[in-house]
Amino acid sequence: MNLIKNALRSRPAAVRFNDYPDAFIPELWANESIAILIENMVMGNLVYRDFSMQVASFGDTVNTRKPGEFKAKRKSAADSVTVQDNTATNVPVVLNQHLHTSFIIKDADQSKSFKDLVVEYLSPAMLSIAREVDLILGNQVYQFIGNGAGHLSGLDSNNAEDYMLDTREVLNTNKAYERGRSLVLTTKSETQLLKNSAFTAANQVGDDGTALREASLGRKFGFDIFMAQNQPYVASGASTTAGAINMAGGAAAGATSLTVDSFSAAIANGTWLTVAGDDTPLRVTGTTGGATPTAITVDRGLTTAVADNAVVTLYDPGAVNNTGGYAIGYDKEITVSGFSAAPKVGQLVTFGTAAGSAVYGIIDVNGTTGITLDRPLEAALSDSDAVNIGPPGNYNFAFHRNAIAMVSRPLALPMPGTGARAGSANYENITMRVVITYDGNKQGHLVTCDLLMGVKVLDAKLGAVMYG
């Protein structure tokens, strides 16, 4: 990563700027900002990145390309070869993630060197954007919960190898490309893997003790392994309702209809649940019994057989609390009510009762009254719509680079004569803009660092969740 940083700082990657002869030269700020961003991202450096120099605005739709595939054909001695087109599919991506961090450099600080200003202002600002990018991308894991292995809150040092191999099997079964796979771990899951000597012992790893000294997991089982502090780990503490499986022989792996007892209130479609022994997130799509439910239908089959009397845990929904609801594309805080415990950053959430509604991740919370999502709303919400939160645990993300696209485009620079100093720089298919203006009221220079991007799942077969 230092090589990237040094390369950026030694030359402009691709810079557009207005020329100013002092420490506030936008070229320097833009180049430094992109260097710091790339240095501090985890997920942002692992997914497919698409960029062009065409200036864009928030809400624009651009196209990225999903690679096509060839298929081998048979021929006899008399046949001609079958010529195939290597066609790539255009995938539309909406540039609906405009991330920025702004700060004021007071007049008294203007005499500081550029290096000092970077340490005090720019580095923390860019770290905040890097974290936001990783939060957004890490929470895309929930769009792959149809491909899962392991058990929530079940990963430990003893079964870590089994969990990884089971996750590998999921990707292999889906025929995901073998080269270029990454596994991004939560902080807690990384700790469990590091406790397993098979991952760190020099005599097993063959690295002269580097893995143990550096707490580095490196490459194992075909995965380049990384820890990301913003990969979703959801602590327990949500309000729940418990019942039990009521099936003499238990429920088999693959079952979607579960006979239950011990519930004393109706269960709304869309509610998330777990079944002890299976311990994966399941969504209710139907019930029998009304106010005294006797059967539940879920959206996916059990991954593991469960026993009779296995505990069924429902995660109690809240509700949207906004008279006018929220329009499609809304990307700010959503006001909610009905939660006795605050939702968690990184927790999965869905809205309403439809079985196929979009699954989001929460990237910010405001106590029990507000949540912010990993991406703008894909469907409008009405007041009192259910807010269905998912179960706790670790959601580790195994994926090939082409599973997700992060599409970046440059933002327009301010027009000359507006009093704004501005520059943008791009490197490795990502771009940052820096705009500097003077704020007379606050007696200092206002610096805004921002980037425009969109995120899109390209191929659901190329990713999987390793529950832990």
Q: Which residue has the tokens 């693959």?
A: 254
Residue 113 pLDDT: 74
Q: Are 43 and 184 in contact (CB under 8 A)?
A: yes
DSSP assignment of 391-440 equals --EEEEEEEEGGGEEEEEEPPPPPPTTSS-EEEEEE-SS-EEEEEEEEET
Q: List the domains of the chain with CATH numbers.
A: 1-67+90-232+393-468 (3.90.1690), 236-315 (2.40.10.170), 318-391 (2.60.40)
Residue 17 pLDDT: 40
Residue 20 pLDDT: 43
What backbone phi and psi angles, to 5 degrees, belong to 264? -120, 15
Model confidence over 261-315: pLDDT tens digits? Answer: 999 999 999 999 999 999 999 999 999 999 999 999 999 999 999 999 999 999 9
Of the candidates 73, 48, 84, 85, the one whose C-alpha atom is nearest the C-alpha of residue 177 is 48
Q: Are 465 and 451 in contact (CB under 8 A)?
A: no
CA distances from 429 to 50, 90, 100, 432, 450 (A): 6, 18, 18, 10, 15
Phi-psi region of 345 (alpha: psi -120 to 50; beta: other; left: phi over 0): beta
DSSP assignment of 174-186 equals TT--STTEEEEEP
* pLDDT over threshold 50, residue 208: no
Element (H, E) at 64: strand 61-66
Residue 448 corresponds to which amino acid? T
Of the candidates 1, 99, 109, the one whose C-alpha atom is nearest the C-alpha of residue 46 is 1
Q: What is the DSSP letter of 229?
A: T
Residue 22 pLDDT: 55
Residue 223 pLDDT: 94
Of the candidates 379, 374, 395, the one whose C-alpha atom is nearest the C-alpha of residue 454 is 374
- Give the CA dihedral 365, 367, 371, 374, nearest 10 degrees: 20
Q: Which residue has the tokens 């007049």?
A: 107
Q: What is the DSSP letter of 73?
A: -
Model confidence over 128-178: pLDDT tens digits? Answer: 999 999 999 999 999 999 999 999 999 999 999 999 999 999 999 999 999
Alpha-carbon 146 to chain mean position: 16
Of the candidates 438, 398, 384, the one whose C-alpha atom is nearest the C-alpha of residue 147 is 398
Model confidence over 363-390: pLDDT tens digits? Answer: 999 999 999 999 999 999 999 999 999 9
Residue 68 pLDDT: 62
Is the pTM higher than 0.85? The answer reads yes
Under the banding of pLDDT at 50, 70 and 90, the label for residue 52 is confident
Q: What is the DSSP letter of 44?
A: G
Phi-psi region of 384 (alpha: psi -120 to 50; beta: other; left: phi over 0): left
Alpha-carbon 372 to chain mean position: 13
Percent of the chain's residues with pLDDT above 70? 88
Q: Are 319 and 84 in contact (CB under 8 A)?
A: no
Of the candidates 404, 423, 345, 307, the one whose C-alpha atom is nearest the C-alpha of residue 34 is 423
d(CA 95, CA 449): 17
Of the candidates 87, 58, 57, 55, the one whose C-alpha atom is nearest the C-alpha of residue 70 is 87
d(CA 316, CA 241): 7
Model confidence over 225-241: pLDDT tens digits? Answer: 999 999 999 999 999 99
3-state secondary structure at position 364? strand
Better-scored residue on pLDDT, 205 or 344: 344
Element (H, E) at 282: strand 282-288
Residue 271 corresponds to which amino acid? T
User: CA angle at residue 151 from 150 to 157, to 5 degrees?
Assistant: 75
Question: How big, in percent rounded to 5, are the helix, strand and coil portions of the chain?
Answer: 20, 35, 45
User: CA angle at residue 142 from 139 to 146, to 5 degrees?
Assistant: 155
